[in-house]
A and B are shown apart, each in its own frame.
Chain A
Amino acid sequence: NAGVTQTPKFRVLKTGQSMTLLCAQDMNHEYMYWYRQDPGMGLRLIHYSVGEGTTAKGEVPDGYNVSRLKKQNFLLGLESAAPSQTSVYFCASSRGTVEAFFGQGTRLTVV
């Protein structure tokens, strides 16, 4: 089973460039999440979705947009990348109140 798959795994962007991170899950989960992980700060929630066609802001949403057009996919967009967005991004999915499953992460560097 693939579980949660993130694409790409690594990316280097120049300041001001845009990109989209893709998260795909094959477990038919309703809930999907995007987190960022920075040294010493744990994981912080950027945006999440409770079902197809829905999105909501998390703890640190500024500078990011998301879309959930299909149940299995959750896209995270950076319209104009900034050095402060250098981080490791994790996607997760769950049925809501039970176990959450995480992807392997995307390491993004903005120069």
Chain B
Amino acid sequence: KQEVTQIPAALSVPEGENLVLNCSFTDSAIYNLQWFRQDPGKGLTSLLLIQSSQREQTSGRLNASLDKSSGRSTLYIAASQPGDSATYLCAVCHDYKLSFGAGTTVTVRA
């Protein structure tokens, strides 16, 4: 069974600091890994998708890396802003299903 873990569960940083969010998974036989953002009471918004053959993916201030052999992914958010406050979820795609971590709740203090 695929187990996905996100550490830390919560993170509070001052505005302007870089954010580092970690995701680990137990089975390296994945098709891809996807990072999502979820605002309170809202749905999931896709941020980045990394295919299993890729090492990283970038979009604006966001950069995600993937080390499939060690079962790890890291999401970097540069120069954080109060608007980045949300819960960030990682999900791995295996057997055509997504398995999720419990998320990291980020608070960026102005």
Contacts and interface: CB of A to CB of B under 8 A. Distances in A.
Nearest to A39: B102
A35 B44 CA distance: 12
A42 B33 CA distance: 16
Contacts of A58: 97
A90 B43 contact: yes
Given A97-B31, A97-B32, A98-B32, A45 B93 contact: no
Chain B interface main SS type = strand
Interface residues of A, number: 24
A50 interface: yes
Interface string B19-48: 000000000000110101000001110100
Given A45-B98, A90-B44, 13 more contacts: A33-B98, A35-B100, A41-B102, A42-B4, A43-B98, A45-B97, A98-B49, A99-B46, A100-B93, A102-B36, A104-B42, A104-B43, A105-B43
Interface string B84-110: 000001010100111111110000000
Nearest to A104: B43
Interface residues of B, number: 21
Interface of B: 4, 31-32, 34, 36, 42-44, 46, 49, 89, 91, 93, 96-103
Nearest to A102: B44
Contacts, number: 53
A101 interface: yes
Interface in A60-104: 90, 92, 96-104
Contacts of B4: 42
10 contacts: A31-B96, A43-B91, A43-B98, A58-B97, A96-B31, A97-B32, A97-B93, A100-B34, A100-B46, A105-B42
Given A97-B32, A103-B43, A50 B102 contact: no
A96 B7 CA distance: 27
Given A90-B43, A98-B49, A100-B34, A42 B97 contact: no
